[in-house]
Structure 1
Amino acid sequence: MQNEDQLQLLGGKTVYLKEYAPDILEVFTNKHPENDYWVHFNCPEFTSLCPITGQPDFATIQIDYIPDQKMVESKSLKLYLFSFRNHGAFHEDCVNIIMKDLIRLLDPKYIEVTGIFTPRGGIAIHPYCNFGRLNTKYQELAEQRLFQHKR
């Protein structure tokens, strides 16, 4: 885990990657792991490619999590999400890939990812996925939020 002074991307020259790059994500230490609190990211400029047609898909990606020991650094998250620009994946795949990458990176108490994709062919798709740490109150939270989820 990195301390703030060990972050590589923050404050440096921005290099945008052209391939899906989960390794670009960086973390820092949560200074309040004893507290339960939400961290919300709203990413309104997400793009990916349809894996069949190669046409671009546009979305707002919303990421909400309750951190434990680690937190994701926002510039690295921006670059990671940008790395989907040339990545071919269905909408549902994108949100699940993002969630699973962040679970591996952060081991959060709870996380959810929502994709609000713009319509193509007259249909908008808004996939939602979540995860709560197993055998804890966060697993119960995940079940409640999933089954009560409405868009």
Structure 2
Amino acid sequence: MLGKEIDGLSLLGSGHTDYVFDYDPDILECFDNKHPENNYFVRLNCPEFTSLCPITGQPDFGTIIINYIPDKKLVESKSLKLYLFSFRNHGSFHEDVINIILKDLVTLMDPRYIEVIGKFTPRGGISIHPYSNYGQKGTSWEQFAEQRLLSVKID
């Protein structure tokens, strides 16, 4: 299967990886959900995330956790890895990064529900753990997102 495009996925199984060092949402790829009749959580844990402080240019390190309930599409994990890597030279505050990731994944997949959590290592003695979520508009998932936002505990 090396070098062969699979169901519209160009990165998985390509046998070659090109890393992009500047933020690029076009890297993201998705594939069809084979179980759209089921509600189920997908958790993606990305413990080696890096971006740059937009003021000092110093690196920020953290873990990005993405939980989502897919609808018709799922994000392909290799493309997600390369997409997250593209933040390496991108300067944004932690809160901005989390919201950018959320919006890009909503645009890509339109999941029923999604949340993105950032657990950044301390800088200046302060750890920042931003949280952002989304529920499909006009569905019960929209209300679920609001309830979850009001009750979330990030440890």
TM-score by length of 1: 0.96
Q: 1:137 — aligned with what?
A: 140
Q: 2:11 — aligned with what?
A: 9
CA distance in 1: counterparts of 2:138 and 2:82, whole angstroms: 33
**1:115 aligned to which of 113, 118, 122:** 118
Does 2:150 align with 1:125?
A: no
Q: CA RMSD in A?
A: 1.1
CA distance in 1: counterparts of 2:45 and 2:58, whole angstroms: 23
Moved over 3 A (4+): none
Does 2:70 align with 1:67?
A: yes
Q: 1:18 — aligned with what?
A: 21
CA distance in 2: counterparts of 1:36 and 1:4, whole angstroms: 25
**2:52 aligned to which of 34, 49, 52:** 49
Does 2:29 align with 1:33?
A: no
CA distance in 1: counterparts of 2:71 and 2:6, whole angstroms: 17
CA distance in 1: counterparts of 2:151 and 2:13, whole angstroms: 40
Aligned to 1:145, the other structure's residue is in SS state: helix
On the 8 A contact 1:61/1:115 being kept in 2, the answer is yes
Equivalent runs, 1:82-121 vs 2, <5 Å: 82-121=85-124
On the 8 A contact 2:7/2:31 being kept in 1, the answer is no
CA distance in 2: counterparts of 1:38 and 1:4, whole angstroms: 24
CA distance in 1: counterparts of 2:55 and 2:115, whole angstroms: 27
Deviations 1:66-97 (A, max 9, x none): 00111110000000000000000000000000
Unaligned runs of 5+ in 1: none
Identity of aligned residues (%): 68
Unaligned runs of 5+ in 2: none
